[in-house]
Amino acid sequence: MKFRALLLWSVTLAISVFMLACGGGGDPPGGGSQPPGLRVDITPQTVQVAFGGTFQFTAVVQNATVPGVTWTVPGGISHGIISSTTGLYQAPAAVPATPPIKVRATSNQDSTIFAEATVSLYIAPVPGTFPIDLTVGTRTLWTSTSVPVTSGVPMSKGLCPNENTLRVQTAAGVDVPAQFRVLSRWSDNSVRWVLVDFMANTATGGGAYRLNNGGSGSATGTALNVNNSASSITVNTGVLSFTVSKTAFRLFESVLIDRDGGGTINDECLNTAALRGIVVSDNSTDYLMNQIAPDSITVEEQGPLRVCLRVEGRHRSAPAGADKLRYVVRIHAWNNLPYIKVVYSFKNMQNHGLTNAGAASEAAQVASHTDADSVSMELPLALGGAPTAMFVGDSTTHQGSLTATQSATLLQNYSGTYDPTDGENLPQPGAYVPGTGDGSGDTLTNAWPTSNDTQISYSVLGGIITGAGAKAPGAMQMAFSASPNNLRVTAAVRDFWQQYPKALHAQADGLMRLDFWPAGTWKMQAFEGVMKTHEVMLSFERLTGVLGGAATQLANLINDAPFAACTPTHYRASQAFGHIGITNSTFTAVNRFQPAYQSYITPYLTEVQRHFTDILGDRASGNGTAAGHEYGFWNYGDGKNEDGNGSWDNQDFGVARACFVWFAASGYREMLGFGDA
């Protein structure tokens, strides 16, 4: 990451902090006598503050019977202002006519006893203060002239008491409409983390933006609107409208756009009679979302640029039937964009809260799982005629027209071999017996793959559309062109090939199906307590034909969303990650760590390099005594310990959290990707 150089305009070149002589004898600065040993110690003695920025001074009075100090700025208001009781200093907005700038702490016991510090002013902000530089970018370097960005920004304690004064600006200082939501606060109630949404141009200007104060908070007057009624919630983005049911949730009741160009968002995109949402199937029984009302459905976030709905419920076979897995769904939509993002998680809460009596019951619970033949998101589209379908491959697109009962499926899978017992899945409870259905043969430990990732491949099935390749990005389109009623629907699944088995399916009757676990592969086993999440980006547009570039762009957005990154110096100065050092993207620089620790940091960074190089290697070629790879439905995002001892990086060592910290210390976006996988 490139750091903007800080230009220092030192208002004064030197400072003398006037300290009183210790012990008897001598007059203090300002004249007069003093009690023996009475003195004021001010911290720090020199400080650099941005124009208009703030800084917290502290002072201690030694050997005093009356504690405390009174703070002043001797040079007057042109030198800044300071709280007389707290020592919070605010620098002037311009260079004073009579430097140097001094801050004085005077003993409350004796007004002739004081200490002074000198302030130097920066043209550019000191890290940790406003403005906060943001660089919007991606790991894979794809760009866009207008793309939604959602990123967390940390702030130092006391910097921002009120998020309603924030604003996002371009590098030229032009305000950009934004949305702000506080995620956490410091003990003084100032903002510690704020979630920032805005539209960014990453194609020109290097994605340079900044978060600043002096604004009025979240934007107003946008087209994004939410109608929350007793039975449903309707979201209108300005170009798209969708409705979800509160009583019989099945993802969508309706998705409307202006298909006929009449200027009104009132043309249906879905075959509403065939809606089922996300379906879990097992042994010819379908477990639906709408057979029982959701346990909860809320507008989790409602802002001017982005809205998020949250729904939690159960997959059920019939209104009075059996349940199979619980679900949590989040649906995001953006102002004036045709996108809908669906984040779907299933979780197995079987025997939740059960107390085990010993090793045998522990082993039984480890062995207990809920099975499914498939887990699929169904989108029956109201296309109006025989569609054109397209799948994005690893180096080309696979497309064609579907008629009558024709269909096409892109299946991503692994054709290599497995270790059926996987002895590295340790530790296990005392009653664990390898190879007896206790978990060692499941994809959670994944009947561990013994072939490398070259055996991960896809093929297009059905005979109408053909093709094959290695690693599909997980994007597809279906379109029907019949002016003035055109419709193109694009879908992209995050980490599609990495989380094999996966499938994309298109039918002539308009069904678009995204198989998180496709039928016909093998049985999915969800063990007790497990939770698995999939993210999907959808786009509904009044456009003709299919376009590979548009589908690829949507795949980029879901797989490698642009992130507004602060500089490592800001992350460190904010202390939101604790006390961290600063290094470079290769983890070789130690000069930004405290000198006393540099000899320890050097070998530690060497180990960081080794470990994360190993993670990349593991994902392709196996690890330690385990050959194979660390992709697959249950494995991706975690990894076995580098020394092949059976430990798992996230479960045993919290490697994902470490990735976020090392991203903050280095600015290396690949670390952000590691932590978020």
114-122 and 46-50 strand pairing: parallel
Residue 325, pLDDT score: 97
- Closest-CA residue to 665 (of 609, 574, 585): 585
Residue 101: Cβ-neighbour burial (10 angstroms; 0-12, 13-18, 19+): buried
pLDDT tens-digit readout, 304-328: 999 999 999 999 999 999 999 999 9
Residue 664: Cβ-neighbour burial (10 angstroms; 0-12, 13-18, 19+): buried
Domain ranges of the chain: 39-122, 225-350+368-418+454-547, 580-676
Q: Are 538 and 491 in contact (CB under 8 A)?
A: yes
Q: What CATH code would you report for 225-350+368-418+454-547?
A: 2.70.98.10
Residue 11, pLDDT score: 28
Kindly state the percentage of the chain with pLDDT values over 90.
62
pLDDT tens-digit readout, 228-253: 999 999 999 999 999 999 999 999 99
Residue 147, pLDDT score: 98
Segments in the chain below pLDDT 70: 1-36, 122-125, 205, 363, 366-367, 419-448, 622-627, 639-653
Alpha carbon separation from 662 to 139, 154, 582 (Å, rounded)? 15, 15, 9
Cis previous bond, 427, omega within 30: yes
Residue 25, pLDDT score: 31
Please enumerate in sequence order all residues whose Cβ is within 8 A of that of 301, keeping only pairs 6 or more positions apart, or say none.
181, 307, 308
H or E stretch including 574? helix 568-574
Name the 3-class secondary structure at 538: strand
Residue 217, pLDDT score: 97
pLDDT tens-digit readout, 129-145: 999 989 999 999 899 99
Residue 119, pLDDT score: 92
Residue 435, pLDDT score: 45
Residue 650, pLDDT score: 64
577 CA to centre of own chain: 15
Domains 39-122 and 225-350+368-418+454-547 share a fold: no
Fold for domain 39-122? Answer: Immunoglobulin-like (2.60.40)
